[in-house]
Amino acid sequence: MVAEPSSTQRLWPALPLDEWKDTYATLHMWTQIVGKVRLAQTPRINHWWEVPLYVNACGLTTSAIPCATGIFEIQFDFLHHRLTIHTSQGTNRVIPLVPRSVADFYREFMDALHALDLEVHTWKMPVEIPNPIPFDRDTERASYDAEYVRRFWQILVSAHNVFTQFRADFVGKASPVHFFWGSFDLAVTRFSGRPAPPREGADSITREAYSHEVISHGFWPGGGDINGAAFYAYAAPEPQGFANQAVSPRQAFYHPQLHEYLLMYDDVRKLASPETALMEFLQSTYRVGADLAKWDRKDLEKSA
pLDDT above 90 for 67: yes
Measured in degrees and rounded to the nearest 5, phi and psi for residue 171 equal -105, -5
- pLDDT number for residue 7: 79
Using the 3D structure, point to which of 98, 117, 137 is the last residue of a domain: 137
Please report whether residue 3 resides in a domain. no
164 and 133 within one domain: no
Please report whether residue 215 resides in a domain. yes
- pLDDT number for residue 1: 46
Measured in degrees and rounded to the nearest 5, phi and psi for residue 50 equal -85, -5
- pLDDT number for residue 9: 85
For the question of whether the overall pTM of this predicted structure is more than 0.85, the answer is: yes
Average pLDDT over residues 13-17: 98
Please report whether residue 154 resides in a domain. yes
245 CB-side CA count, 13 A: 26
154 and 281 within one domain: yes
Please report whether residue 6 resides in a domain. no
127 and 64 within one domain: yes
Q: Are 45 and 38 in contact (CB under 8 A)?
A: no
Average pLDDT over residues 251-255: 98
Please report whether residue 4 resides in a domain. no
Average pLDDT over residues 239-263: 98
- pLDDT number for residue 304: 62
- Sign of the dihedral through C-alpha 151, 156, 159, 164: negative
Using the 3D structure, point to which of 88, 109, 137 is the last residue of a domain: 137
- Select from 60, 66, 209 the least CA-distant residue to 149: 60
Q: Are 26 and 102 in contact (CB under 8 A)?
A: yes
Please report whether residue 71 resides in a domain. yes
151 and 281 within one domain: yes
131 and 152 within one domain: no
CA angle 217, 211, 218 (to 5 degrees): 10
Average pLDDT over residues 75-97: 98
Please report whether residue 7 resides in a domain. no
72 and 27 within one domain: yes
151 and 83 within one domain: no
175 and 99 within one domain: no
Query: What is the overall mean pLDDT for the chain?
Result: 96
Please report whether residue 279 resides in a domain. yes
- Residue 301's pLDDT band, with cuts at 50, 70 and 90, is very high
262 and 239 within one domain: yes
Range of the domain at 74: 16-137
290 and 244 within one domain: yes
CA 212 to CA 195: how far, in whole Å? 4
CA 265 to CA 16: how far, in whole Å? 10
173 and 32 within one domain: no
CA 277 to CA 263: how far, in whole Å? 10
pLDDT above 60 for 3: no
Average pLDDT over residues 60-71: 97
What pLDDT digit, counting tens, does each position of 175-231 carry? 999 999 999 999 999 999 999 998 888 888 888 889 999 999 999 999 999 999 999
- pLDDT number for residue 2: 46
Using the 3D structure, point to which of 115, 137, 159 is the last residue of a domain: 137
For residue 83, give the DSSP letter: E
Number of domains into which the chain is organized: 2
122 and 187 within one domain: no
Q: Are 274 and 11 in contact (CB under 8 A)?
A: yes
In the chain, the amino acid numbered 33 is: I
- pLDDT number for residue 5: 66
Average pLDDT over residues 133-156: 98
